[in-house]
Structure 1
Amino acid sequence: MYIKQLYYEGIEEGAFPYNLPFIKDINNLLFTKPITFITGENGVGKSTFLEAIAELLGLNLEGGSKNNHFSTRETHSDLTKSCRLIRYAYYAKDYYFYRAESFYNLTTDLDDLGVSSDLFDRSLHSFSRGQSIKALVQERFFGQGIYLFDEPETGLSLQSQLELMLMINDLVKADSQFIICTHSPIQLVFQEANILEMTDEGAKNISLEESQIIKQWEMVFNRKNHFFHQLFNS
């Protein structure tokens, strides 16, 4: 374990990102297990929260390690001006930020830097989206690291998500810590993981059974005929 908390020291109110609901609860959110999943509806601040951690670690905000410096557009918030990281006693040897929405840009940067040729013997753009993500994790993530994922399930089939979970599990055994924003119910089933749920009311740690993602998918599959009848006839 390397990161214990994103600690908020600010008093800003009103403007984005300080009006996001999780701000009032942020100092109660602790990373106590090697894997923490962050869930919630679109717009509640999951990516903003993760992005702040990435920036405080010195990582490229469109994805990558400390060696990636590309930027296509400045869109990140200034939350880090009011936050600091509280760490455990150990220091990581590897750092990486994967975010689905800018992975194409990261892939281009890795190809241009020659990293793809060194690690994969071919351009990452020559892989499918799902293949390239798995190749990146398998060949570039070295262990003893802090790894931030923003929606890693994007572009992955169920089989590929399960394969990714096995890779994550191996990296946890190699003394790594993961903080993962996700909409995938499959990812949440990971044993021995914290689940942090963000809503319009705030943020808190929850159990798998309390997760809105799990409840919603159960509703769709267990009552699909009634659900879709109500959806299209409301």
Structure 2
Amino acid sequence: MLAIKPYLRALTINPTREIDFDAYPFSIPAVRELEQIAFHPDVTFLVGENGAGKSTLLEAMAIAWGFNAEGGNQNNGFSTVNAHSDLHTYLRTVKSYKRPKAGYFLRAESFFNVATNIEKLDAAPGLGNLIGPSYGDRLLHQQSHGEAFLALLQNKFKADGFYMLDEPEAALSPNRQLAALAMIHRLVQRNCQFVIATHSPILLAYPRARIYLLSNSGLTETCYEDTEQYTTTRDFLNNPAGGMARLFAEQ
């Protein structure tokens, strides 16, 4: 039986486009050094410090795939603010012969806007089936941020899907991150592929995932135990008092 994943096999820079490496977003080292990314059939992570370009790259990938810059599925066409870069116009997506049956781009910072747009559309008369109930039996704005994220995973993410998540841990407690991992694994087993930008050492622990580190040195593949998310968390939890003493001594 032929494998149907990954839906997104690789990402490359269009060699015919002229690039100004001094201008944003190519002024970001990891974007400037980008030539090609190969994606894992199951889960690929993007990690790095704040400002390293994770969200910029994931956003551009999502737009190049056909998602709305602020998130949602490919039917979402609203715009709260036009703040995304033009990086997507420089990207070429290498896709599988098999197209996913579902998809979603989750942005933690703009998920509130997605929920607001859903309620606005559902309030308009004569536009067909309501959208809100497809996210569960409670309106997204009637739930906490974390509850709404999990409702999204439980109700909107379907088999044979391609999903991009930008810092999904932002609203999730450690226990809820573990619950999210279990949901992601079930979906992977149902022919889903994920690309996730994250700071979470819990999410990064997903087995056999491919991890790309974005840094001032560019973009490189790394392993879980070598990520700052893992080493910093491990060292702190092994000796919280010592970690605090060193931290406060530096003030």
Match of 1:48 in 2: 56
What is the one-letter code of the residue matched to 1:53?
M
Tell me the SS of whatever aligns to 2:103.
strand
- Between 1:40-49 and 1:104-113, the stretch displaced more is 104-113
- Structure 2 distance, partners of 1:131, 1:116, is 15
Q: Which of 44, 54, 63 is residue 36 of structure 1 equivalent to?
A: 44
- Between 1:67-76 and 1:112-121, the stretch displaced more is 112-121
Tell me the SS of whatever aligns to 1:148.
strand
Match of 1:5 in 2: 10
- Structure 1 distance, partners of 2:42, 2:133, is 31
* 1:101 CA drift (Å): 0.4
Match of 1:207 in 2: 223
* Mapping 1:64-103, distance limit 5 Å: 64-103=72-111
Tell me the SS of whatever aligns to 1:154.
helix
Q: Which of 120, 128, 132 is residue 148 of structure 2 equivalent to?
A: 132
Match of 2:235 in 1: 219
Q: May I ask how many residue pairs the two structures share in their alignment?
A: 234
- Structure 1 distance, partners of 2:121, 2:189, is 30
Partner deviation per Cα, 1:11-64 (whole Å, 9 max, x = no partner): 411100011111344224210331001111000100111011110111111110
What do you get for the CA RMSD once the two structures are aligned? 1.4
- Structure 1 distance, partners of 2:44, 2:66, is 20
- Structure 2 distance, partners of 1:106, 1:212, is 31
> 8 Å contact 1:40–1:46 — kept in the other structure?
yes
Partner deviation per Cα, 1:154-177 (whole Å, 9 max, x = no partner): 111111111111111111111111
Tell me the SS of whatever aligns to 1:97.
strand
* 1:118 CA drift (Å): 4.4
| TM-score for both structures, normalised by structure 1 | 0.95
Match of 2:120 in 1: 112
- Between 1:182-191 and 1:214-223, the stretch displaced more is 214-223
- Structure 2 distance, partners of 1:94, 1:109, is 20
- Structure 2 distance, partners of 1:91, 1:70, is 24
- Between 1:152-161 and 1:216-225, the stretch displaced more is 216-225
Match of 1:198 in 2: 214
- Quick check: 1:121 aligned with 2:137? yes
* 1:142 CA drift (Å): 1.4
> 8 Å contact 1:25–1:204 — kept in the other structure?
no
User: Aligned in 2, Cα 1:118/1:141: closer, same or farther, shift over 3 Å?
Assistant: closer
- Structure 1 distance, partners of 2:214, 2:171, is 23
Partner deviation per Cα, 1:68-112 (whole Å, 9 max, x = no partner): 111111110011121111112221111110000011111111222
User: Aligned in 2, Cα 1:122/1:225: closer, same or farther, shift over 3 Å?
Assistant: closer
- Structure 1 distance, partners of 2:149, 2:135, is 13
Tell me the SS of whatever aligns to 1:122.
coil
- Structure 2 distance, partners of 1:191, 1:204, is 19
> 8 Å contact 1:5–1:27 — kept in the other structure?
no
List runs of 5+ in structure 2 lacking aligned partners. 1-5, 123-130
- Structure 2 distance, partners of 1:68, 1:32, is 26
- Structure 2 distance, partners of 1:81, 1:157, is 36
* 1:152 CA drift (Å): 0.4
